[in-house]
């Protein structure tokens, strides 16, 4: 719920800026109210529109994905900020590490493990094979409302990382003080 409230849920598509192999930009959108089916449908439509309205951006995203196996770690796209190995000590007093999407001097990279190490595989119940269509109003989802979003999410994502750090800083430092 905190991630919904602060809009921390981003769907990201990394790509190289103008095919320069040194700068990775992020394209995507922010997910609001993840528990809402309506909102999930709308973000799916927005992402589809973003990806397929500009063939140049789509080809850059596809090229990046073909050259980078997906592990689920943020290190995949920003190894300058994230590490799949925890470089810090768990009991260490937390200090801010990021400023404007750059690591502060002397700061450890943020731990971001590969997905296989962060979450167990889940076995889900088989879905009922009943017809999901119960209301003709769902055809409204097929109408393109031509929302004008540009997909440039790099700056928003950087700000989100800084806000997450502030939340971590508050939580960790309060808990450390309580234990003393």
Residue of higher predicted confidence among 90 and 16: 16
In the structure, what pLDDT confidence band is assigned to residue 4 with cuts at 50, 70 and 90? Answer: very low
Q: Give the C-alpha separation, 73 to 78, whole Å.
A: 9
Q: Which of 51-55, 67-71, 86-90 has the lowest mean pLDDT?
A: 86-90
Percent of the chain topping pLDDT 90: 26
pTM over 0.75: yes
| Residue 173 in this model has a pLDDT that exceeds 60 | yes
116 membership: H or E segment, kind and range? helix 115-118
Q: Give the C-alpha separation, 101 to 91, whole Å.
A: 25
Q: Give the C-alpha separation, 159 to 162, whole Å.
A: 5
| Residue 147 in this model has a pLDDT that exceeds 80 | no
Q: Check residue 112 and give its pLDDT.
A: 92
In the structure, what pLDDT confidence band is assigned to residue 178 with cuts at 50, 70 and 90? Answer: low
Q: Give the C-alpha separation, 25 to 12, whole Å.
A: 10
Q: What share of the chain is helix, strand, coil (3-state, %, to 5)?
A: 45, 15, 45
Q: Check residue 61 and give its pLDDT.
A: 92
| Residue 29 in this model has a pLDDT that exceeds 60 | yes
Answer for the pair 24, 153: CB distance below 8 angstroms, yes or no: no
Answer for the pair 51, 45: CB distance below 8 angstroms, yes or no: no
Three-state secondary-structure class, residue 97: coil
Q: Which of 1-5, 57-61, 87-91, 123-127 has the lowest mean pLDDT?
A: 1-5
In the structure, what pLDDT confidence band is assigned to residue 164 with cuts at 50, 70 and 90? Answer: confident
Tokens encoding 37: 């089916």
Measured over all CA atoms, what is the biggest interatomic distance in the chain, rounded to whole angstroms?
61
Burial bucket for residue 108 (CB in 10 Å: 0-12, 13-18, 19+): middle
């Amino acid at each position: 719920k905190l991630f919904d409230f602060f809009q921390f849920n981003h769907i990201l598509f990394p790509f190289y800026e103008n095919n320069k192999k040194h700068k990775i930009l992020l394209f995507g959108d922010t997910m609001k109210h993840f528990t809402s089916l309506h909102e999930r449908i709308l973000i799916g439509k927005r992402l589809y529109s973003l990806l397929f309205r500009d063939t140049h951006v789509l080809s850059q995203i596809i090229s990046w994905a073909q050259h980078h196996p997906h592990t689920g770690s943020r290190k995949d796209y920003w190894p300058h900020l994230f590490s799949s190995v925890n470089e810090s000590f768990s009991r260490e007093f937390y200090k801010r590490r990021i400023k404007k999407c750059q690591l502060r001097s002397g700061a450890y990279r943020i731990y971001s493990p590969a997905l296989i190490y962060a979450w167990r595989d889940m076995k889900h119940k088989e879905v009922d094979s009943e017809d999901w269509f119960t209301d003709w109003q769902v055809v409204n989802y097929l109408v393109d409302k031509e929302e004008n979003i540009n997909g440039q999410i790099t700056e928003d994502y950087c700000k989100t990382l800084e806000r997450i750090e502030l939340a971590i800083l508050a939580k960790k430092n309060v808990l450390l003080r309580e234990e003393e």
